[in-house]
Amino acid sequence: MKKTILIIGLLLILSFVFDNWIIDFVTSLRTENVTSFMMVITSIGFLFVVFVSYSFLLKNNKKIALLILSIVLSYLIGFILKLLIMRERPDAALFFESSYSFPSNHAATIFSTLPLMTKNFPKYIYLFFIVAILVSFSRIYLGVHYASDLILGGFLGYTIGLIVMKFGEKKWKINGRN
């Protein structure tokens, strides 16, 4: 865990240093077709993950409760951090977002579902991570987040998801595919 935190910390520092360069580079690659695709991904990507997660866990109310708890906690903590940090959004935004930029709540909420989903459905681990990364990347492409917003948001969400999953394992004896 210490090694993971160190790696995330280094990525976060590097992304802060290169935030403007990254967003300038990514937004310079915009095309009409890719922009349309990214608008769909950013709009329904999270809903897709929630729907798929709910469908997979439909027969287990405790796991659904853990999934919802992960999403709600990551959103609330992200929202509070936004209000405390008050980082403005990039100038390259294709549409208006009224909240602050740091951390990304899209990244936090979607990554919060991953611990529970990948533990219960390990054969879909790559699919879950690809969708989470694609939704997160769409936020840079559309110019509404810096890379550091997404790195911290993803780390925050994933960590909250792990904590909630561990809580479920202890409290309700939930583990794996129970």
Residue 11 domain flag: yes
Residue 177 domain flag: no
- Would you write out the chain's pLDDT as a tens digit for each of its 178 residues? 677 767 767 776 777 788 888 888 988 888 999 999 999 988 887 677 667 666 666 667 778 788 889 999 999 999 999 999 888 888 877 776 777 888 899 899 999 999 988 888 888 889 889 989 999 999 999 998 899 899 999 999 999 999 999 888 787 766 655 4
| CB < 8 Å & 24+ apart, contacts of 88-94 | 89/144, 89/145, 90/23, 90/143, 90/144, 90/145, 90/146, 91/143, 92/23, 92/24, 92/27, 92/143, 93/142, 93/143, 93/144, 94/35, 94/39, 94/142, 94/143, 94/144
Residue 39 domain flag: yes
Question: In 10 A of CB 149, how many CB atoms?
Answer: 30
Question: How many domains would you assign to the chain?
Answer: 1
Residue 130 domain flag: yes
Residue 178 domain flag: no
Residue 109 domain flag: yes
